[in-house]
Amino acid sequence: MWGLAMDKTVRVRITKIRGTETRAEDDTVIAERETRLFLNGAEFAMTVMTPGDEDLWAVGHLAARGVIGSACDLTGVEVSEDGAVVTAEVRTSRTREAARERRGMRDLAALAEAAREGIRWLADAPLYTSTGGAHVAALVRADGTRLTRMEDVGRHNAVDKVLGWALVNGVRLSEMILATSGRLTGEMASKAGVAGVPVMASVSAATNRGVEEALRYGVTLIGFVRGDAMNVYTDA
């Protein structure tokens, strides 16, 4: 069973100020903690993440780093009881540079509508709605069909979790649009490129490295998806 459920929020006592009114009340904040990934016995990565879905994060992170191309490359993934340590065993630990299989998406109008659908789905994500402190990532098909949505305090973690979900569920990333609430940086664009996602869309902006990495991997990069407007930085 993939996808581990843990408490993602914590209740804290705060002082709320609204104009001249001050009152004490309980509030919901997003949880975070350090998680370390060990690959074939050696520490491979450390992140600060929202508890839950650590196994999916590990799979997605390995895919985004080019270590695995599918869930079949894994011989085992285990998560400690507190979620602070993930151990993964793979058939090879050689990092691959080449991107995965890609499928062209030539109809830009249809692609734009699917990107809008992905971004719309981000807006009402429950953890973001309840805390305002979560990044959201989602996968939708080119026709706008919604597949999965993940939330995390870190935008990279949210992307890794949806990539991991796709791999363990046998979803062809070459047919997906990856929507995210985070900036389209070089590392974010390369995650999509190495994992084999042909289109990445965000409500936020791209950086120069994001554009360069998208061009390098043949990723269509779309930013500022807001209402009926968007910026297509690279059109693969």
Q: What would the pLDDT profile of 92-117 be if each residue is shown by its tens digit? A: 655 544 444 555 556 788 889 999 99
Confidence at residue 69, expressed as pLDDT on a 0 to 100 scale: 92
Confidence at residue 93, expressed as pLDDT on a 0 to 100 scale: 52
- Using CA atoms of 136, 137, 142, 148 in order, give the dihedral in degrees to the nearest 10: -90
Residues of the chain with pLDDT > 90, as a percent, come to 87
E strand intervals along the chain: 9-18, 21-30, 33-39, 42-49, 74-79, 85-90, 135-141, 146-152, 176-180, 199-202, 220-226, 229-234
User: So where are the chain's domains?
Assistant: 108-234
Strand duo 74-79 + 33-39: pairing = unpaired
Confidence at residue 105, expressed as pLDDT on a 0 to 100 scale: 56
3-class state of residue 228 by DSSP: coil
Confidence at residue 5, expressed as pLDDT on a 0 to 100 scale: 74
Confidence at residue 99, expressed as pLDDT on a 0 to 100 scale: 45
Confidence at residue 236, expressed as pLDDT on a 0 to 100 scale: 65
Q: Which portions of the chain are predicted below pLDDT 50?
A: 96-100
- Using CA atoms of 190, 192, 198, 203 in order, give the dihedral in degrees to the nearest 10: -100
Residue-wise pLDDT for 60-81, tens only, equals: 999 999 999 999 999 999 999 9
Q: What's the CATH architecture for 108-234?
A: 3-Layer(aba) Sandwich (3.40)
Directed axis angle between helix 155-168 and helix 54-64, to 10°? 90
Beta-carbon-side half-sphere exposure of residue 158 (alpha carbons within 13 Å): 28
Confidence at residue 6, expressed as pLDDT on a 0 to 100 scale: 80
